[in-house]
Amino acid sequence: MTEPFYSLSISQLAPLLARGEVSPVEVTEQFLERIGQRNQEINAYLTVDADGARAQARDAEARLRRGEGALLTGIPLALKDVLATRGLRTTCASRILENFIPPYDATVCVRLREAGAVFLGKANMDEFAMGSSTENSAFGPTHNPWRRDRIPGGSSGGSAAAVAADLCTASLGSDTGGSIRQPASHCGVVGLKPTYGRVSRYGLVAYASSLDQIGPLSKEVRDAAVLLQAIAGFDPQDSTSVPEPVPDYLEALGREIRGLKVGVPQEYFGEGLDPEVRDAVEAALKTLASLGAELVEVSLPHSEYAVATYYVVAVAEASSNLARYDGVKYGLRMKGRNLMEMYYNTRAQGFGAEVRRRIMLGTYALSAGYYEAYYKKASQVRMLIRRDFDAAFKKCAVIAAPVTPTPAFRIGEKIDDPLTMYLSDIFTISVNLAGIPGISVPCGFSSSGLPIGLQILGPPLGEPVVLQTAHAFEQATDFHLRKPDF
């Protein structure tokens, strides 16, 4: 074995562990050493749980010796710091939760522990998942492993950067408006946002409850399928989880896509799309066609209203969800001469500027006299966007489109221009509003060597056909095999 273990995918590492050619303890130690040497450069991790990871690795080793291993037994993972982890601090990259240690695990963490995975630590993110660049973290931005002066995307930027930089084998992120797919595109990795309700949100610190969804970031499509298989399924602790059986996602990967209809939405190829992104995505469409897929034009006419709709629905829900951080029950508590002053001081000093902005926008949208003008109207437009996708999927099996309008921009370039920053999610937001699955798979590079992603979308619970199409494209190209010079 000449390659270091940290450079391997789940599908490459799992057989070595199963055959006893390497031990989970050895692999985990190699990752911890690499994190110690390299994390400072990109700030992908907020918390590294070395002792916990070693204990889980020893447990995985014992399982493998007993012949009780599974595909994830001994596999080192990173978790976005928005997922509750029992006994390990969960900060949401916010001062208000800087020292918060949950007494329970999120359901996805429970399922990964049961599968024998090893948790290396908690990954950096935009505070409370509010952002597109991981610059809004209270603990400093994450840097893109491909170019340290560029953003990694957000809000799951730490999760994507950790995978790209070989600081974990794979990771979990959350996606409210593109927060898995957009950083996956910018970091040259695979990122899957499942159907709303396919994966339990129990233990996910809420941003916008009707939009949030947990999903994997990985080095290849097969790994994303393995992780989804482990975390998907009904959970009685999450009333929005879907009580539908989980199919065999790996079984879908071997199928060819000859005759598969791939929709191309013209609204996603208009003004504002960087020419290099357009060229890479159009080349990817030609690759799909060369594999026998049939490209068909579809229309998503209400796409132009998606950003406005999202930034009413999401901030309104955030305003409600973040009301719990008041200095009374848990988290940061600042002193005040009375209860109102304590509330004010706690929230003013605990929340960053972007979180405060979104809370105020959401509170305004929900206030008396404005609810019908804003939140109700946005909810109606959201339904129109959902119907656009329903109509499109009557003509095609999947939709292929860009993930982001541009490659990764420079750190600090857009931080003072919220509207421009919000527009960087223009191609991903509709997917969350409609609740459908989507994946980002590497499809090219800009002239300056920055990764570009192809987005493949499917109908509700259409993860098998999304994975099938993404895998077929991936196997016909080598973009996913390229690594940053890190």
Q: What is the pLDDT of residues 292-348, one digit of tens each?
A: 999 999 999 999 999 999 999 999 999 999 999 999 988 999 999 999 999 999 999
From the list 94, 155, 424, 440, the catalytic residue is 155
Question: Is the per-residue pLDDT at 1 higher than 70?
Answer: no
Q: Mean pLDDT across the stretch 138-152? A: 98
pLDDT score of 2: 62
Whole-number Å distance between alpha carbons of 7 and 18: 18
Classify residue 64 by burial, with Cβ atoms within 10 Å: 0-12, 13-18, 19+: buried
Classify residue 232 by burial, with Cβ atoms within 10 Å: 0-12, 13-18, 19+: buried
Question: Is the per-residue pLDDT at 260 higher than 70?
Answer: yes
Active-site annotation holds for 155: yes
pLDDT score of 124: 98
Cis amide prior to 299 (ω within 30 degrees): no
Question: Is the per-residue pLDDT at 216 higher than 90?
Answer: yes
pLDDT score of 417: 84
pLDDT score of 204: 98
Residue 371: pLDDT band by 50, 70, 90 thresholds? confident
Q: Mean pLDDT across the stretch 35-46? A: 97
Residue 242: pLDDT band by 50, 70, 90 thresholds? very high
Closest CA relative to residue 77, chosen from 107, 48, 106, 39: 48
Beta strands in 90-176, from DSSP E residues, in sequence order = 118-123, 170-174
This prediction has a pTM of: 0.97
C-alpha dist (Å) from residue 485 to 6, 162, 334: 15, 14, 44
Single-letter amino acid code for the residue at 226? V
Q: At what angle do helices 50-65 and 10-18 cross, to 10 degrees?
A: 50
pLDDT score of 423: 82
pLDDT score of 277: 98
Q: Mean pLDDT across the stretch 440-457? A: 98
- pLDDT, averaged across the chain: 96
Active-site annotation holds for 80: yes
pLDDT score of 130: 97
pLDDT score of 77: 98
Whole-number Å distance between alpha carbons of 220 and 18: 20
Closest CA relative to residue 98, chosen from 79, 81, 86: 81
Higher pLDDT, 16 or 270: 16
From the list 133, 171, 179, 440, the catalytic residue is 179
- Lowest-pLDDT range, 31-40, 91-100, 321-330? 321-330
In the chain, % of residues over pLDDT 70: 100
Residue identified by tokens 């921009």 is 409
Active-site annotation holds for 448: no
Whole-number Å distance between alpha carbons of 344 and 288: 54
Cis amide prior to 155 (ω within 30 degrees): yes
Strand partners, 296: 263
Residue 395: pLDDT band by 50, 70, 90 thresholds? very high
Single-letter amino acid code for the residue at 396? C
Question: Is the per-residue pLDDT at 99 higher than 70?
Answer: yes
- Lowest-pLDDT range, 77-81, 349-353, 364-368, 439-443? 364-368
Strand partners, 128: none
Closest CA relative to residue 347, chosen from 362, 328, 366: 328
From the list 9, 11, 80, 219, the catalytic residue is 80
